[in-house]
Amino acid sequence: MNENIIPLHQLQIGSFGRVRRLTAEGNARRRLLDLGLIIDTKVEALRKSPAGDPIAYEIRGAVIALRADEAAHIYVECE
């Protein structure tokens, strides 16, 4: 695997990545796709909640909060 491809929850705050793969299945996969997380979508990690989970991401102009267990199914290539 390319070393620049990491699970989304490991993307540093203020960094960008491009979606390369989704490993979620079923309803979880459908939800991620409905949020706009398709291949080649640019994602920015904006900020963490005070407890560290969830993390806010900018996806296609919208701010979406995802928990680490959801974001672990989204693999991004760091830019």
pLDDT at 1 over 60: no
List, for residues 45-76, the tens digit of each pLDDT value. Answer: 999 999 889 999 999 999 999 999 999 999 99
Look over the chain and give the mean of its residue pLDDT values, rounded to a whole number. Answer: 93
Task: Output DSSP code: residue 54.
Answer: S
Model confidence, pTM: 0.90
Query: Which domains does the chain carry?
Result: 5-78 (2.30.30.90)
**The token pair that represents 69 in the structure block:** 């267990």
**Which pLDDT belongs to residue 2?**
63
Considering only CA atoms, which of 63, 22, 16 is closest in space to residue 39?
Answer: 22
List, for residues 28-41, the tens digit of each pLDDT value. Answer: 999 999 999 999 99
